[in-house]
A and B are shown apart, each in its own frame.
Chain A
Amino acid sequence: MAKKIRILLAKPGLDGHDRGAKVLARCFRDAGFEVIYTGCHNTPEQIVNAAIQEDVDMVGLSCLSGAHTYLYPEVVKQLRDRGVTDIPVVGGGIIPDRDMQPLYDAGLKALFTPGATLDSIVDWINTNIAAKE
């Protein structure tokens, strides 16, 4: 049997709007991924620690406070600082157009904004993320 894709879902910062993250956690579980959801209020450092310890294949971030411009790149940066380059980071939320390019430039692998269906996100993962051997 093929190894399951392991995903860390995390909410960086102080934002507590976790509806989207929890819906995705269930969706990923139903799609056959292994999901680690760490709840609200994680610092970038906590997220990076969890990603390394759990040896995940992808990190998904959700933040709806407007602090994504700082927090998402910070997670990518801290992963790199720890020498981790094989865990892609993706983000979701209401991300204004003007923030998109800077976030991609900072190393976010994909961004999912309003209107993205659950199936489209699962498809993206199946296409772009492979379980580590």
Chain B
Amino acid sequence: MLFTQELLDKSSLLRKKWEDEVKRVVAKNPDQKPEWSTVSDLEIKRIYGPEDIAGMDFENDIAYPGQYPFLRGVQATGYRGKYWTFRMFSGMGTAVTTNERWHYLLNNGQTGLSTAFDFPTLMGYDTDSPKAKGECGKCGVAIDTIEDFFDLTKGIPLGKVSTSMTINPPATILWAMYCATADIQGIPLNQISGTIQNDMLKEFIAQKTLMCPPDPSVKLISDTIEFGTKYVPKWNTVSISGYHIREAGATAVQELAFTLRDGMEYVEDVIRRKGLHVDSFAPRLSFFFNSHIDFFEEIAKMRAARRIWAKGMRERYGSTDERSWWLRFHTQTAGCSLTAQQPYNNVVRTATEALAAVLGGTQSLHTNSLDEVLCLPSDHAVQIALRTQQIIAEETGVVNTIDPLAGSYFVEALTNEMEEKAWEYIHKIDEMGGMVAAIEKGFPQLEISDAAYKFQRQIDAAEKIMIGVNKYNVENEEVDIPLIEIDETVEKEQLERLAAVKRSRDSRRVKECLEDIKKACEKGDNVMPYCIEAVKARASVQEICDVYREVYGEYRDPGIY
């Protein structure tokens, strides 16, 4: 019990008095609207008090940072020891252009790198594939072979800077390129650090960069977890992502529940398929959340996530190593909360969302640029977004104390409510036979579709407000944002680069390497060592993915709505 009975009795008395007063005032001046809820439609009460959190147990539910259940953070020292990593997601055009942007960001005080790949790379196609036509370099950097990777990482100290790569179906290959590049530079694999997103379950649920069916997709992920555990101990081999689930239209609770259940699915697969002990690999699992516009809902979500993971790891998988219980996460502010209309307002939205992420205790943060809703961000817009983080860190004082909202009747009650609702989803998915089974039934996809449709209707009816979209609109607005354009010369250049690599490499060696990967796939062996050899021999992303597609089959989006 957090409070004495005496205090609760007192509170009950005063609350009754307050309620009477509210009734009297509302009778004269009605509220602006009958219901008040979060952006995810979670109903919020007019006030919260001791009675809303009276059932909590201080030791088991709250405690201190660095203590189970890690509600208040995984690090004992909070942001005093180290701020979150300022990590801006970037990638465009060719590897050379992206390398320039990376140096620009590092020179501006960014502390970690994060790579955006173009669609052909994300989907495991080379620039010379007919499927890639028109897409090269548009949404990120085009990487076909390790030669592009050398250009991408030119002048970047791989042993010192941590690099995140948003790559999913071809994660084994891009990670192999990173490992091979380090190896060629003489940097031992146990010194490189970073993250590969490598979370296929959320691809089936939300983001839809798809290649092979769910089961072999999870197998490839377990390969990377196993390889990382043995040889690349400072690498986060999966970034279990709620970001895309949320962007696809999920509520905050759905994001929380589906993401954590995805994480549990990976844990179960590695234990079953690889026979590893949970505590040998779980400390390297990392997470990635969205920070949407509803301030307290986001903070509560992040706090609840830590507690759910800690409980789940201990109770479901018998983990005894505290580091396995830590939910460490990256955050990106919500792209879907930004508006093409009056785009400068996006700076304010992003700042609010970034503040929520910091109060929620994020370990790493990307802040969206004001123009990202329209195009790839300009240098200037990226700088404002990065400065937003720096202002929060170094001017606002919110970093002075850890988890400052703990003990707030409202924040604790909301955290509890979100945790409870998330567990309901998690148990429901357990009953379906796990996340792969749930995905095959279309369960998370349909839940998200429902939420997305409902939200769009609410926006159209102005029941939820987006400034500039359904309120305070500007007629015939002139948007004066300079749009970065990736023109066709990028595709032409990249095609020439790829052709040159294909001409100069030892094609017999490439063939042998691809044959080795095929055998490993067929036998169920770990593909990582073979991928590293193959990329060193200049095998391309698509050539290796074609092997995967051949052995495991190709997955088509069923288009569930």
- Contact assessment for B456 and A14 in the assembled complex, using a CB-CB cutoff below 8 Å: no
Q: How far is the CA of A131 from the CA of B339 in the complex (A)?
A: 35
- Contact assessment for A71 and B134 in the assembled complex, using a CB-CB cutoff below 8 Å: yes
Q: Which stretch in B115-123, B311-319, B503-511 binds the other chain?
A: B115-123
Q: How far is the CA of A113 from the CA of B373 in the complex (A)?
A: 12
- Contact assessment for A16 and B209 in the assembled complex, using a CB-CB cutoff below 8 Å: yes
- Contact assessment for A13 and B134 in the assembled complex, using a CB-CB cutoff below 8 Å: yes
Which residue of B203, B373, B486, B559 is within 8 Å of A66 (Cβ)?
B486
Answer whether residue B139 sits at the interface, using C-beta atoms and an 8 A cutoff.
Answer: yes
Answer whether residue A49 sits at the interface, using C-beta atoms and an 8 A cutoff.
Answer: no
Which residues in chain B, 118-151, are within 8 Å of chain A measured between CB atoms? 119-120, 122-123, 125, 130-135, 138-139
- Contact assessment for A115 and B340 in the assembled complex, using a CB-CB cutoff below 8 Å: yes
Scoring A residues 59 to 84 as 1 if CB is less than 8 Å from chain B, else 0, what string do you get? Answer: 00000011101110010000000000
- Contact assessment for B340 and A118 in the assembled complex, using a CB-CB cutoff below 8 Å: no
Answer whether residue A100 sits at the interface, using C-beta atoms and an 8 A cutoff.
Answer: no
- Contact assessment for A119 and B557 in the assembled complex, using a CB-CB cutoff below 8 Å: no
Point out which of B120, B135, B203, B473 has the most chain A C-beta atoms below 10 A from its C-beta. Answer: B135
Residue of A nearest to B244 (CB): A16
- Contact assessment for B208 and A118 in the assembled complex, using a CB-CB cutoff below 8 Å: no
Scoring B residues 336 to 357 as 1 if CB is less than 8 Å from chain A, else 0, what string do you get? Answer: 1001110000000000000000
B561 / chain A contacts, CB cutoff of 8 Å: 21-22, 25-26, 37
Give chain B nearest CB distance to A99 CB in angstroms. 10
- Contact assessment for B557 and A94 in the assembled complex, using a CB-CB cutoff below 8 Å: no
Contacts A13-B135, A38-B559 hold; do A96 and B375 have CB atoms under 8 A apart? yes
Contacts A67-B134, A114-B339 hold; do A94 and B483 have CB atoms under 8 A apart? no
Scoring B residues 429 to 456 as 1 if CB is less than 8 Å from chain A, else 0, what string do you get? Answer: 0000000000000000000010011001
- Contact assessment for B559 and A43 in the assembled complex, using a CB-CB cutoff below 8 Å: no
- Contact assessment for B119 and A65 in the assembled complex, using a CB-CB cutoff below 8 Å: yes
- Contact assessment for B210 and A70 in the assembled complex, using a CB-CB cutoff below 8 Å: no
Q: How far is the CA of A26 from the CA of B470 in the complex (A)?
A: 21
Give chain B nearest CB distance to A112 CB in angstroms. 12
- Contact assessment for A96 and B483 in the assembled complex, using a CB-CB cutoff below 8 Å: yes
Answer whether residue B272 sits at the interface, using C-beta atoms and an 8 A cutoff.
Answer: no
- Contact assessment for A98 and B559 in the assembled complex, using a CB-CB cutoff below 8 Å: no
- Contact assessment for A37 and B134 in the assembled complex, using a CB-CB cutoff below 8 Å: no
- Contact assessment for A23 and B483 in the assembled complex, using a CB-CB cutoff below 8 Å: no
Which residue of A19, A71, A96 is within 8 Å of B452 (Cβ)?
A19
Q: How far is the CA of A117 from the CA of B462 in the complex (A)?
A: 11
Q: How far is the CA of A16 from the CA of B200 in the complex (A)?
A: 13
Point out which of A16, A39, A74, A97 has the most chain B C-beta atoms below 10 A from its C-beta. Answer: A16
- Contact assessment for A23 and B134 in the assembled complex, using a CB-CB cutoff below 8 Å: no
B132 / chain A contacts, CB cutoff of 8 Å: 14
Tally A-B pairs: CB < 8 A. 106
Point out which of A14, A38, A66, A71 has the most chain B C-beta atoms below 10 A from its C-beta. Answer: A14
- Contact assessment for B123 and A119 in the assembled complex, using a CB-CB cutoff below 8 Å: no
Which residue of A13, A40, A67, A97 is within 8 Å of B557 (Cβ)?
A40
Answer whether residue B556 sits at the interface, using C-beta atoms and an 8 A cutoff.
Answer: yes
Q: How far is the CA of A106 from the CA of B281 in the complex (A)?
A: 54
Answer whether residue A27 sits at the interface, using C-beta atoms and an 8 A cutoff.
Answer: yes
Contacts A13-B134, A14-B122, A14-B132 hold; do A39 and B341 have CB atoms under 8 A apart? no
- Contact assessment for A14 and B374 in the assembled complex, using a CB-CB cutoff below 8 Å: no
Which residue of B119, B453, B559 is within 8 Å of A39 (Cβ)?
B559
Point out which of A19, A39, A117 has the most chain B C-beta atoms below 10 A from its C-beta. Answer: A19
Contacts A22-B561, A40-B557 hold; do A115 and B469 have CB atoms under 8 A apart? yes
Scoring B residues 200 to 212 as 1 if CB is less than 8 Å from chain A, else 0, what string do you get? Answer: 0001000111100
- Contact assessment for A19 and B247 in the assembled complex, using a CB-CB cutoff below 8 Å: yes
Give chain A nearest CB distance to B393 CB in angstroms. 31
Answer whether residue A41 sits at the interface, using C-beta atoms and an 8 A cutoff.
Answer: yes
Scoring B residues 19 to 50 as 1 if CB is less than 8 Å from chain A, else 0, what string do you get? Answer: 00000000000000000000000000000000
Top 6 nearest A-B pairs (CB, nearest first) are A16-B208, A39-B559, A70-B134, A39-B557, A14-B119, A114-B340
Interface residues of B (CB under 8 A from A): 119-120, 122-123, 125, 130-135, 138-139, 203, 207-210, 247-249, 336, 339-341, 373-375, 449, 452-453, 456-457, 460, 469, 473, 479, 483, 486, 556-559, 561
29 residue pairs from A and B, CB less than 8 Å apart? A13-B134, A14-B125, A14-B209, A18-B208, A19-B247, A19-B248, A19-B452, A22-B452, A22-B453, A22-B561, A23-B453, A23-B456, A26-B453, A38-B559, A39-B559, A41-B208, A41-B557, A43-B130, A66-B135, A66-B139, A67-B135, A71-B134, A94-B340, A94-B373, A113-B340, A114-B340, A114-B469, A115-B340, A117-B460
Q: A15-B119, A41-B123, A41-B556 are in contact. List 12 more A-B contacts (CB 8 A).
A: A13-B134, A22-B452, A22-B453, A23-B249, A26-B449, A43-B130, A65-B138, A67-B138, A94-B340, A97-B479, A114-B340, A118-B460
